[in-house]
Each structure stands twice: as C-alpha cells, then as structure tokens.
Amino acid sequence: MPPNLSIDPASRTPIYVQLCAQIRAAIGSGALSPGERMPTMRAVALEARIDLNTVQKSYSELEREGFLSTRGSRGTFVASVPPVPDPARGAAEMLALARQCVASARVAGLEPAELGRLIVELATTTSHRES
C-alpha cells in the first residue's frame, strides 16, 4: 500500500484520481520500487474504505499509463521501467493534491503563509527519493 494513503471523499477530485495521484507520487518518490508487488485491489479498497470498482479503475488507469503491470494470477506490480514524465498531467495531479493539503491545513488551523513556508521548506530540503 502506498505510504500515507489518504482519500478525501468530500473532495471535488474523484476518488480514483486521488488514488492514482498518490500511487504515482509513491512510485516517483521511491516509496514504491520498480518490480514491487502492489497490494490486491481488495486490500486497498478495505484499507482506504472505498469501493473495489474504484480501485480497479485506478489500477487499470495506472497500467494503461505504464506505472503498473499485471502479471496474470501473480498480481499487479510497479512497472520495471517508469513512463516518461508528463508535465501537464503532473501539474494537474499536484493541483489535486494541493487542494487536499490546503483543506487539511485549514482544518488544522494553519495560516496560508505558514503552509507556504512549510511547502517551500519541504521542497528545498527533501530529496526526490524521500517523502
């Protein structure tokens, strides 16, 4: 399971898009390694408390994009060779994740300036393999 999987059912971003974005981010950060076996769709659905069909849609989308590969009855795995990054899709995903982040910051009582400072600090002090 991607570390820190967080689905916001109240978000305007569809749940399958949230799940795809978080799995892509986990692959990009190295939290999920090439060749690593993904949890079953049923396990993800139970853990995230979402519909199994939603997880299936996410896995299918990620397989179509080249992030995951299904090996028959052996399961679904992180692709050995990740796809070439798409900056336009990356920006859209980051906007969806930023919306979730801003909503969580509001609930936590964080001021916009403090949230911005934390993001800049994280972006400048964390390597792309961490997170």
Q: Name 77's bridge partners.
A: 37, 69
Band of residue 55 on the pLDDT scale cut at 50, 70, 90: very high
The total domain count for the chain is 1
Domain for residue 68, yes or no? yes
Average pLDDT of the residues in 97-124:
87
CATH number of residue 106's parent domain: 1.10.10.10
Domain for residue 90, yes or no? yes
Reported pTM = 0.67
Q: Range of 42's domain? A: 15-125
Domain for residue 109, yes or no? yes
Domain for residue 8, yes or no? no
Helix/strand/coil for 8: coil
